[in-house]
């Protein structure tokens, strides 16, 4: 594990070496403990593929990407990191006190978007970006990419992480070449349902005693949450660990900031402005983000009518990257290869002109 300071908060991350000729070992089990050694030094010139950046969901951590990284790191450099306040990324209280983490560039870009008129609170100008908004977390990612010198990246985001990835693609168009959302969608605001969701989430965040991981059989329960088939016991333990150690202010802050009327309705409008390719991976048994909501969000992308932007996995629920890492990896490789073909064709056209 490596760490770096972003806006006063220590962020944990792992960056794999540039791909070697030999294939990476594949496994669907999480590490029993987070790795303590930094990744190998980059091997210059061995790969022209983009770096894949993985963004986890709410109350999770970078650990859940490990099975997918194992599938892809033979050909793509992979960056996984813990969002501010989650996993091993420490939450610095002073970073949360100022409720405005907006940069001049962020504010300028966000002025291009405005929420629907029926929202009760309109976004004022200039826009203040909440410390726990999707845009603020996208800005964190931009800072991380700056620190690591990464300019040619594809983003893979799970659930909440998918929304952050879409915002990052909008705010960082020169760096982000494309987005793949896993179990992520939305754009439809249903007041009663969202109120229930926020209330339940806040109650979850309040009751997280440190002794919770010691409760017998609880890992088996956590291994069954939001999945079609029970996961291995080690995943249950990992989920309890991440659930307990998430910072309360960050967990509640991002929950509330990302589920407002205006934030929900901004997302499809943002997708409609993206120039980069976007692909959505949904799952037939996902009760948290059902396929119809994923397809709804995908329908706003400019290429929706011309391309197939949604892949649906059968017998899978809300944790596709650990339920079916091989199937997700197959979709990812296909999307990236197709993008390479399109870019190659465009380059040929430019040369012919």
Mean pLDDT, rounded, for 288-310:
96
Give yes or no for residue 131 having a pLDDT over 50.
Answer: yes
Give yes or no for residue 239 having a pLDDT over 70.
Answer: yes
Cα separation values, 219 from 196, 238, 240, 248, Å: 26, 8, 7, 21
Q: What is the pLDDT of residue 160?
A: 98
Is 40 among the domain residues? no
Residue 344: pLDDT band (50, 70, 90) is low
| Angle formed at CA 164 by CA 134 and CA 127, multiple of 5 degrees | 30
Mean pLDDT, rounded, for 154-159:
98
Class of residue 150 by CB neighbours under 10 A (exposed 0-12, middle 13-18, buried 19+):
middle
Mapping DSSP to helix (H, G, I), strand (E, B) and coil, where does residue 177 land?
strand
Residue 7: pLDDT band (50, 70, 90) is confident
| Measured distance CA(83)–CA(138) in Å, rounded | 10
Give yes or no for residue 326 having a pLDDT over 70.
Answer: yes
Is 37 among the domain residues? no
Residues 32-89: tens digit of each pLDDT: 444 444 444 443 344 579 999 999 999 999 999 999 999 999 999 999 999 999 999 9
Is 54 among the domain residues? yes
Mean pLDDT, rounded, for 130-157:
95
Is 23 among the domain residues? no
Q: What is the DSSP letter of 37?
A: S
Mean pLDDT, rounded, for 273-284:
97
Is 26 among the domain residues? no
Question: What is the span of the domain harbouring residue 201?
Answer: 2-18+48-208+246-352
Give the least confident one: 77-91, 103-117, 131-145, 239-253: 103-117
Average pLDDT, the chain: 85
Q: What is the pLDDT of residue 37?
A: 44
Is 38 among the domain residues? no
Q: What is the pLDDT of residue 312?
A: 98
- How many domains would you assign to the chain? 1
Is 235 among the domain residues? no
CATH number of the domain enclosing 276: 3.40.50.1820
Helix ranges, the chain (H): 66-72, 93-97, 104-110, 134-148, 160-171, 191-206, 218-222, 233-245, 248-257, 261-273, 291-298, 320-323, 325-352
Is 236 among the domain residues? no
Q: Higher pLDDT residue, 349 or 237?
A: 237
Mean pLDDT, rounded, for 243-267:
95
């Amino acid at each position: 594990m490596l760490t770096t300071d972003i806006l006063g908060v220590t962020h944990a991350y792992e960056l794999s070496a540039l791909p070697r000729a030999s294939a990476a070992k594949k496994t669907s089990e999480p590490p029993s403990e987070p790795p303590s050694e930094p990744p190998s030094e980059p091997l210059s010139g061995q790969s022209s593929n983009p770096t894949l950046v993985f963004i986890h969901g709410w109350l999770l951590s970078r650990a859940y990407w490990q099975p997918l990284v194992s599938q892809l790191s033979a050909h793509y450099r992979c960056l996984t990191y813990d969002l501010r306040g989650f996993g091993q990324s420490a939450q610095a209280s002073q970073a949360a006190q100022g409720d405005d983490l907006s940069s001049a560039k962020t504010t300028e870009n966000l002025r291009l978007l405005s929420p629907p008129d029926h929202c009760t609170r309109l976004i004022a100008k200039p826009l203040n970006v909440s410390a726990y908004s999707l845009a603020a977390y996208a800005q964190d990612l931009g800072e991380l990419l700056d620190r690591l010198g990464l300019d040619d990246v594809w983003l893979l985001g799970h659930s909440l992480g998918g929304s952050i990835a879409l915002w990052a693609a909008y705010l960082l168009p020169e760096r982000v070449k494309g987005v793949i959302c896993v179990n992520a969608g939305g754009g439809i605001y249903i007041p009663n349902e969202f109120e229930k969701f926020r209330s339940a989430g806040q109650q979850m965040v309040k009751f997280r005693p440190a002794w919770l991981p010691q409760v017998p059989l609880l890992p088996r329960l956590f291994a069954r949450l939001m999945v079609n088939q029970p996961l291995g016991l080690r995943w249950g333990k990992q989920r309890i660990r991440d659930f307990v150690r998430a910072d309360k202010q960050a967990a509640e802050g991002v929950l509330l900031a990302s589920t407002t009327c205006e934030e929900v309705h901004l997302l499809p409008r943002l997708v409609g402005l993206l120039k980069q390719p976007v692909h959505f991976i949904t799952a037939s048994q996902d009760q948290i983000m059902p396929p119809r909501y994923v397809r709804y969000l995908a329908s706003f992308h400019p290429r929706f009518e011309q391309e197939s932007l949604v892949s649906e996995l059968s017998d899978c629920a809300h944790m596709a990257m650990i339920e079916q890492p091989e199937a997700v990896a197959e979709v990812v490789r296909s999307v990236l290869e197709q993008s390479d073909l399109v870019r190659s064709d465009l380059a040929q056209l430019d040369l012919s002109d």
